[in-house]
Amino acid sequence: MRATLIGLVALFGSGRTWAQDTAGDSEAGRRVANQCQGCHGMEGRSESTPRIGGQPAAYLVAKLHAFHSGERKTANRTISLVAKILKDEQIDDVAAW
């Protein structure tokens, strides 16, 4: 279930590389990721929003940072608003979970 519900907190390139390992705290990430299930579902595999369950941690970190910085935009502003309030450490934690 590690990759489940990592939706927020989903974002793009703020200087991080795709191969970079995420050194976040997975338990803290689980708590943050609970916010994701409303849109992304319990396993991060909703039919109505992007599937985040099973995505590589580096991918999730990159996407969440892109939404956080405003580099990436979407018609549904929810992820942009959620990502905007996340700290770098929280993004790493969610990706580690």
Sequence spans of domains, the chain = 26-96
Percent share of the chain, pLDDT over 70: 77
The model's pLDDT over 36-72, given as tens digits with 9 standing for 90+, comes to 888 998 888 888 888 898 999 999 999 999 999 999 9
Give the pTM. 0.71
Could you give the C-alpha distances from 72 to 36, 41, 90, in angstroms and in order? Answer: 18, 22, 19
CATH of 26-96 given 1.10.10.10, 3.40.50.2300, 1.10.760.10, 1.10.600.10: 1.10.760.10
What would the two tokens of residue 91 be?
Answer: 């993004």
- Amino acid 41: pLDDT: 87
Residue type at position 50: P
